[in-house]
Amino acid sequence: MTGLPDVPAAALEDWLRERYFRAEHDISSSGVHNHTLGDLRALDPGLRDGELDSLVFRDGPSLGAERLRAAVAARVRPGPGQVVMTTHGSSEALFLAFAALLRPGDEVVVPDPSYHSLSVLAASAGAVLRRWPLRPENGFVPDLADLRAVLTRRTRLVVVNFPHNPTGACVDPAGRAELLELVGASGATLLWDGAFTDLVYDHPPLPDPSRDIGRSLSFGTLSKAYGLPGLRVGWCVLPAALAPELVRVRDYLTLSLSPLTELLAAVAVEHADELIGPRLAEARRNRDLLLEWAAASGGAVECPVPRGGVTAFPRFPGVGNTRPLCERLLERHGVLVVPGDCFGRPDRMRIGFSCPEGELRQGLGAISAELAELPGALVRGGAG
């Protein structure tokens, strides 16, 4: 990284930093609601029968503990020549990848809008950003013609994130195939942020890109679909030849993960379907609830349908900047959402819908009540 002293503050983290701990009703999150240590212990006899007590706090291997790497590989099924590296959240993996792969002046394609790490870290490494717009007028549906238009001979990396934070946009299996073909033909390396891979509603989870394209790195995490953000475990699936490059950077940063978190993470991945299944079913029901609320708002809430993930990114006609509304929701109702300016779209709001249903109803009701008080209001309040 060349420009880290100049790295700008992450607006999303600044917004959440203290409010997250004050909120009574959290409908802001991009992950499903959280699991406990007890939930993990209930899944695995080893964790109940002394495995925790006999764990030795040795340093871990640079690429991660074998059991966890094997569990991730069994689930992700990487293509030939690819290895799994486990990391402190996918945040660390993204940092390592950008730091190891980019040189000043390289062109990097990033989705717009995007989660801050995807664009800011690339820019901090000295890259020239080329933005692939996800267009609100098209309900954020990704258009590959827009991607084609920003690819050049100098494109070094193409960063994608489907399902997408914050819009919930996604490519379908045919769109994935077309996208991989396009990136493959361009000569660029694909960075596939699959944080929300397991959270899809219209088709099975998209396969890891490495099964179809050699030059790819993909990123996964326990923070979103697994409901384990505080465990701080993620991973990167990458060509074996690149692994030493990421380790070279890691040796100055985190060295390795804790054997304790890797043990818990291995249990989580080995029991992925048991952890994810019920939360996904709940998210599906809540997504319906959210869309019904928007449809019943009389035009006060315009909400593109999230095709994946657990966030929606609606706008409220007549509200040019949602930040004051978001402040009032917290101060008057204890409801936490995210103002769209954290993603460069002040007229929108990120709503997380994978909370218990009652929380979501409370939160949406509060938004309706606040919208009803605005001058020229379209809703009369109380919905949700």
Is there binding between residue 192 and ligand PLP (CB under 6 A)?
A: no
Among 82, 119, 124, 223, binds ligand PLP (CB under 6 A): 223
- The residue among 310 and 383 lying less far from ligand PLP, judged by its C-beta, is 310
Rounded Cα distance, 210 and 237, in Å? 8
- The residue among 225 and 300 lying less far from ligand PLP, judged by its C-beta, is 225
Upper half-sphere CA count for residue 306 (Cβ side, 13 Å)? 32
Query: Whose CA is closest to 114, among 303, 337, 313?
Result: 313
Shortest Cβ 304–ligand PLP spacing (Å): 17
Taking contact as CB under 6 A, which single stretch among the options 83-91, 178-186, 266-274, 294-302 is the one that binds ligand PLP?
83-91
Query: Whose CA is closest to 196, among 167, 220, 231?
Result: 220
- Note whether 328 and 366 are within 8 A (CB): no
Is there binding between residue 167 and ligand PLP (CB under 6 A)?
A: no
Rounded Cα distance, 109 and 146, in Å? 11
Instruction: List own/partner pairs for 100-104 with CB under 8 A and 24 or more apart.
Output: 100/242, 100/245, 100/246, 100/248, 100/249, 101/156, 101/157, 101/189, 101/242, 101/245, 102/126, 102/127, 102/156, 102/157, 103/156, 104/2
- Note whether 11 and 116 are within 8 A (CB): yes
Which positions from 15 to 54 touch ligand PLP by CB under 6 A, shown as an x/- string?
---------------x------------------------
Among 119, 124, 155, 161, binds ligand PLP (CB under 6 A): 161
Gap between the terminal Cα atoms of the chain: 46
- The residue among 115 and 353 lying less far from ligand PLP, judged by its C-beta, is 115
Tokens of 229: 């953000």
Partner residues linked to 192 by β-bridges: 160, 218
- The residue among 234 and 308 lying less far from ligand PLP, judged by its C-beta, is 234
Shortest Cβ 12–ligand PLP spacing (Å): 8
Burial 100-116 (b: 16+ CB within 10 A, else e): bbbeeebbbbbbbbbbb
Among 119, 186, 221, 286, binds ligand PLP (CB under 6 A): 221
Is there binding between residue 193 and ligand PLP (CB under 6 A)?
A: yes
Rounded Cα distance, 208 and 76, in Å? 6
Rg (CA), the chain: 21
Among 209, 234, 306, 384, binds ligand PLP (CB under 6 A): 234
Residue 175: in which H helix or E strand, if any?
A: helix 173-186
- The residue among 308 and 365 lying less far from ligand PLP, judged by its C-beta, is 308
- The residue among 233 and 263 lying less far from ligand PLP, judged by its C-beta, is 233
Taking contact as CB under 6 A, which single stretch among the options 84-92, 130-138, 269-277, 312-320 is the one that binds ligand PLP?
84-92
- The residue among 86 and 223 lying less far from ligand PLP, judged by its C-beta, is 223
Among 95, 115, 293, 343, binds ligand PLP (CB under 6 A): 115
Taking contact as CB under 6 A, which single stretch among the options 87-95, 207-215, 235-243, 360-368 is the one that binds ligand PLP?
87-95
- The residue among 28 and 210 lying less far from ligand PLP, judged by its C-beta, is 28
Is there binding between residue 90 and ligand PLP (CB under 6 A)?
A: yes
Shortest Cβ 115–ligand PLP spacing (Å): 4
Is there binding between residue 297 and ligand PLP (CB under 6 A)?
A: no
- What residue has token string 């007890």? 38
Among 64, 79, 89, 339, binds ligand PLP (CB under 6 A): 89
| Chain residue at closest Cβ approach to ligand PLP | 89
| Peptide bond before residue 163 is cis, with ω within 30 degrees of 0 | yes
Is there binding between residue 140 and ligand PLP (CB under 6 A)?
A: no
Cα dist from 11 to 8, 116, 125, 180, whole Å:
9, 8, 19, 31
- Note whether 135 and 85 are within 8 A (CB): no
Interface ranges with ligand PLP (CB under 6 A): 30, 89-91, 115, 117, 161, 165, 193, 195, 221, 223, 229, 234
